[in-house]
Structure 1
Amino acid sequence: MRTAFDEAERRAWAGQADAYAASFAKLCAYPVPALLDAAGVREGVRVLDVGTGTGSAAAVACGRGALVTAVDAEPGMVARAAPAAPEADVRLAALPRLPFADDAFDAVIGNFVLNHVGRPREALRELRRVARPGGRMAVTIWAVPAAAGQALLGRAVQAAGVARPAHLPALAPEDDFARTEQGLAVLLGEAGLTDVVCDTLTWDHQTTLEEWWSGPAAGVATIGQIVTSQGPLVIAEIRSQFEALCAEFSGPGGALLLPHAALLAHGRA
């Protein structure tokens, strides 16, 4: 059963595949090699990529010779992922109910998908259900507190005096969890995984001011929903604050170097 958070996520991502591809997709693709390594993805392995987005992980898994199935809840993402990973079976499907039999895959991956589900524990149990006994599962989420680069847009919103709109629900307290190495590892253990390991990945994401602004300006993700729910004058003030804060992250040739941190957890079904 979908929660209010799930429904808000569906609305927020509807029609946003192109804007996501032009803004945040490159950032979210960074952990893919480590994620696939953690899940033991190699030639001949049956892999399920849940929340594939634009297909970054599915494409790399296909390049390793894996037998890849990829799903996403947003039709626009499926439309972009299918040509990005033409050897994969790309379908429309969403957590917490996946259209696959028990024990169907050797490896199951979810790159940042847990950030977008209303009941993370239920989602992990479903990922565990479709992994064969002894198979591997690996997931990523954003770490909390956020790294400086990840916090940039939120700081601009806050500096403009904008609060999170009431129509954007947060996770229910009983469904939330600590976005730390220990917190995510415990969550995987509760889902029935063994040999659980969780590490922190850190990197500097290189982008530009205009590229980084294009995501929220188009309404991509929660930050985009916050920005686009404001009037033109407030949006202009957020943009002004964003431009001022970007000076902290300026790199050579006008690039922005934005420090990010994600958690990568994996275990055995």
Structure 2
Amino acid sequence: MTAFDRSERRIWAGQGSAYAGSFAKLCAYPVPRLLDAAEVGPGTRVLDVGTGPGTVAAAACARGAKVTAVDAEPTMAELAMRAAPGADVRVAALPELPFNDGEFDAVVANFVLNHVGRPQAALTELRRVVGPHGRIALTIWAVPPAAGQTLIGRAIQAAGAVRPSHLPAGLAPEDDFPRDESGLTALMGAAGLREAVCETLRWDHRASADEWWSGPASGVAFGGQLVRSQTSRIRAEIKRHFDLFSSEFADEDGLLTLPHAALLARARR
């Protein structure tokens, strides 16, 4: 396990409910396209890696698939069990999954590769557990990010927040890759996957300012941990700048329209 992986475990510990009430709705947007890319339908043996609150697992169950789901965080797995009672939900983490070689017809991973320290090793493990000619489909956040994705980060930076030592700056250089269509496609090829293709998804996420702020205020994800680690004065400054910048995205009813962009990639073993 890398230093990045250990940090991710600490960041997400106990955060299932807070994530479900804030960013989970945003991350649900690509789910139908993700399942289509993996050709998930009736009888498909599908593994949902990093299931979070079970959004993908529940959608796959609704298609009649035979669903197994895993997440590294126990509070996420508990939520997934409720959301997808027909799925076999377990606590497990990349890059070592508790499954036999070729056990699944398809593997899906919705915004999971962003949270592993060795992305190529993670993809190699996904390739191992899918059968011959099996499908792998995944999403990650695109770089450069869309305007809505930068709102919280802008507020953190404007307030002069300092990153604490327990939060890593990012992946080791030898493990990182360009977060664009060509970069993700190349990474999948390097992991031994065939016929890799990637596209960019763009959408506007609608949320109230209070809902959007609830994630970082509760310590969800890297940004939330960064907010929570600041002094009370800096936290107040972050919130002040968040309120100021939020007005750029607000309509007359106060709802925010937040542009986002993600990469959707698919390949075969």
Common topology (TM > 0.5): yes
Provide the secondary structure at the position in 2 that maps to 1:212: helix
CA drift at 1:194: 1.0
Provide the secondary structure at the position in 1 that maps to 2:166: coil
Counterpart-to-counterpart distance in 2, 1:130 and 1:23: 32
- Give the equivalent residue in structure 1 for 2:119: 120
The TM-score normalised by the length of structure 1 is 0.99
Q: 1:82-139, CA deviations, whole angstroms, 9 ceiling, x for partnerless residues?
A: 0100100000110010000000000000001100000000000000000101110001
- Give the equivalent residue in structure 2 for 1:205: 205
For the aligned residue pairs, the C-alpha RMSD in angstroms reads 0.7
Counterpart-to-counterpart distance in 2, 1:97 and 1:167: 24
After TM superposition, list the pairs within 5 Å mapping 1:183-262 onto structure 2: 183-262=183-262
- 2:117/2:171 contact within 8 Å kept: yes
Q: 1:53-86, CA deviations, whole angstroms, 9 ceiling, x for partnerless residues?
A: 0000000000000000000000000000001001
1:104 matches 2:76: no
Counterpart-to-counterpart distance in 2, 1:166 and 1:228: 14
Counterpart-to-counterpart distance in 2, 1:166 and 1:148: 28
CA drift at 1:230: 0.3
- 2:136/2:267 contact within 8 Å kept: yes
Provide the secondary structure at the position in 2 that maps to 1:201: strand
- Give the equivalent residue in structure 2 for 1:160: 159
- Give the equivalent residue in structure 2 for 1:46: 45
- Structure 1 segments, 4+ long, off by >4 Å, are none
Provide the secondary structure at the position in 1 that maps to 2:79: helix
- Give the equivalent residue in structure 2 for 1:144: 143
- For 1:25, give the aligned amino acid: A
CA drift at 1:165: 2.4
Counterpart-to-counterpart distance in 1, 2:232 and 2:187: 41
CA drift at 1:45: 0.4
Q: Which runs of 5+ in 1 are unaligned?
A: none
CA drift at 1:29: 0.8
- Give the equivalent residue in structure 2 for 1:31: 30
Counterpart-to-counterpart distance in 2, 1:92 and 1:45: 21
CA drift at 1:163: 3.3
Counterpart-to-counterpart distance in 1, 2:25 and 2:162: 28
Provide the secondary structure at the position in 2 that maps to 1:60: helix
Counterpart-to-counterpart distance in 2, 1:256 and 1:23: 13
- 2:162/2:230 contact within 8 Å kept: no
- Give the equivalent residue in structure 2 for 1:75: 74
CA drift at 1:198: 0.2
CA drift at 1:192: 1.1
Count of paired positions = 268
Q: Which runs of 5+ in 2 are unaligned?
A: none
Counterpart-to-counterpart distance in 2, 1:251 and 1:126: 45
Q: Which moved more, 1:161-170 or 1:3-12?
A: 161-170
CA drift at 1:252: 4.2
Counterpart-to-counterpart distance in 2, 1:120 and 1:160: 32
Counterpart-to-counterpart distance in 2, 1:33 and 1:165: 37
- 2:49/2:109 contact within 8 Å kept: yes
